[in-house]
Amino acid sequence: MAYTVIDDAGLFFNTKLYAGNGSTQDIGGIGFQPDWVWIKNRDQADDHAITDSVRGVTKQLETNSADNDGTESTNADGLTAFGSDGFSVGDDVIYNTNAENYVSWNWKAGTSFTNDASSTGVGSIDSAGSVSTTSGFSIIGYTGTGSNGTVAHGLGVAPSMIIFKNRSTDNNWNVFHKTLGNGKFIRLNDTGAAGNTGRFNSTSPTSSVFSLGVNGATAVNGDGNSIIAYCFADVKGYSKFGEYAGNGNADGTFVYTGFKPAFVIVKRYDGDGQGWNIFDNKRDPFNLVDEFLIANSSNAEATGSALNLDFLSNGFKFRGTDGGSNTSGSEYIYMCFAENPFVTSTGIPGTAR
């Protein structure tokens, strides 16, 4: 059996940097038509902007938005079109301020998905979206019921991580991660530790559905509310979702992924006060990787001598001692996508930096 089914990770995920022009522009060179685009101004304290092909262009969510401003908005000058090799933006400052620098993280799903639960017998709540079973990614929209239920996700394998956002009401972003299990959740838009929850009905996702509960579950299952869920599964050589323990020194814990990383987010989950730190191979094409953004903060890009890491041919290794990445004895979750696999489908080894 081949080591991986994805030799070219850039067909499914790519980071694209661009400079704003203060007008309108097409951002190309991504390598595919993206279905999920996450944009951040690197130079200014602007919101993180999320747009996807399921909700549609101009529909904006912000990962750093808390309860008071967390609903979906329509931004006619935001992301205005998805193209075959990228996307188009208007002149909104979050997307396109003249002479300021931006990063966009782009994922492809690509195949239309619908599930009429009553007809198929899969799940109890209708769902629709876009899915790639090859890369283990789906974008699923559904309407909450306020009652225990299940939703088809289309992946064909159990997702390892699901990011939920209630589009209709002021609710936090909620995250299921396999490390935390079905009895805990963590918020994408704040620095809190993982908390106990009934949001997932104490039931882990299966190869066909994820489960929703009623205890504290408005964010993922509000009655009559429109919910979007971004679902991710581990794919050998391309994506991995896991955990590690910090060791508190510059010879940090090595995290094996089975590929050279292109994108990493880490979050401490056993204590409060640390954010979701984002690193990628385009803002830092060489080691050390030390330029970071924070998903739960509008802060501009920063460089941290204590928050840095190496991207290796088969994983990543932190070289600092910051509490956001490598405090001794602290526990962290991560999501990671590949630049290239450790070994290709034909047995060719990957290379380190």
Strand ranges (E), 53-173? 59-60, 73-74, 79-83, 86-89, 101-107, 111-115, 127-132, 137-143, 149-152, 161-166
Q: How confident is the model at residue 156 (pLDDT cuts 50, 70, 90)?
A: very high
Q: Extract the tokens encoding 193.
A: 């530790």
Percent of the chain scoring above 70 in pLDDT = 95
Amino acid at 116: D
d(CA 245, CA 222): 35
pLDDT at 217: 83
Instruction: Please give the share of the chain, as a percent, with pLDDT higher than 90.
Output: 88
Mean pLDDT of the chain: 94
Per the structure block, which two tokens stand in for 291? 């330029």
**What are the C-alpha distances in Å from 163 to residues 186, 234, 315?**
10, 15, 23
Distance (Å, rounded) from C-alpha 209 to C-alpha 150?
6
Which of 275, 310, 269 has the alpha carbon at shortest distance from 289?
310
The DSSP code for 119 is: H
Residue 106 pLDDT grade (very low, low, confident, very high; cuts 50, 70, 90) = very high
Q: How far apart are CA 111 and CA 289, in angstroms?
A: 34
Average pLDDT over residues 6-12: 94
pLDDT, tens digit, 9 for 90 and up, residues 254-264: 999 999 999 99
Q: What is the pLDDT of residues 211-250, one digit of tens each?
A: 999 987 899 999 999 999 999 999 999 999 999 999 999 8
pLDDT greater than 80 at residue 3: no
CA atoms within a 13 Å half-sphere pointing along the CA-CB vector of 270: 15
Which of 333, 284, 207 lies closest to 17, judged by CA? Answer: 284
pLDDT for res 345: 62
Q: What is the band of 159 on the pLDDT scale with cuts at 50, 70, 90?
A: very high
Encode pLDDT of 45-63 as tens digits: 999 999 999 999 999 999 9
How wide is the angle at C-alpha 217 spanned by C-alphas 118 and 70, nearest 5°? 110
Q: Domain coordinates of the chain in residue numbers?
A: 9-107, 119-232, 239-341
- The model's confidence at residue 315, banded by pLDDT at 50, 70 and 90, is very high
User: Which pLDDT does position 306 carry in this prediction?
Assistant: 86
Residue 204 has pLDDT above 90, yes or no: yes
Residues 6+ apart with CB under 8 A from 331: 243, 244, 245, 246, 268, 269, 270
